[in-house]
Chains A and B, each alone.
Chain A
């Protein structure tokens, strides 16, 4: 029985992120939804490279076996980069959201659209 619950968690996080991105009106909520999407993608990538009954790809003080199985190291290297870039994207989006609030005094996307019936 494989741990398909990891893949199902991934698609649940993706669904939550996309629905919040489409249907929420506050800009800060939209940024939180971006972060949830990002974390879901990272989780998916790490779970793609997982092997059962294996250990982390580090040889220091590893248990001595005749055959050492390890998880794949390349997805971890790529996801390290992605986590830092995700934080950088969040910082930039929050900067733009704060500037939007300073200029328009609102964070509601419906009011920012300029449609007159929503003030």
Chain B
């Protein structure tokens, strides 16, 4: 039963990771990376690691996205 959860969430992880390096609009890549971090938080919770899940949610999903958005504000938004 747990194995099906792992399978579905792992597929979602790989798809969002692929999308985040495929998009040419960097804002879409950053949003896709934020969804990747969110799905990883759920996976950490299913692996019985609540401390790591809270840390990943706070740092990966919130702060990293914030820093990336500020960085593409200072540089270009589209690739090339």
Contact between chain A and chain B defined by CB under 8 Å: yes
Query: Which chain A residues have a beta carbon within 8 Å of chain B's beta carbons?
Result: 1, 3, 5-6, 8-9, 12-13, 16-17, 20, 24-26, 28-29, 31-33, 35-36, 39, 42-43, 46-47, 50, 52, 54-56, 58, 70-71, 76, 79-80, 83-84, 86-87, 90-91, 94, 97-98, 101-102, 107-108
How large, as a class, is the contact surface on chain B?
A: 35 or more
**A contact patch SS:** helix
For B64, what are the chain A residues with a Cβ–Cβ distance below 8 Å?
35, 87, 90
How close is A93's CB to chain B, nearest CB, in angstroms? 9
Query: Which chain B residues have a beta carbon within 8 Å of chain A's beta carbons?
Result: 2-3, 6-7, 10, 13-14, 17-18, 20-21, 26, 29-30, 33, 36-37, 40, 43-44, 47-52, 55-56, 59-60, 63-64, 67-68, 71-72, 74-76, 79-80
Q: Write the chain B residue with the least CB distance to A33.
A: B21
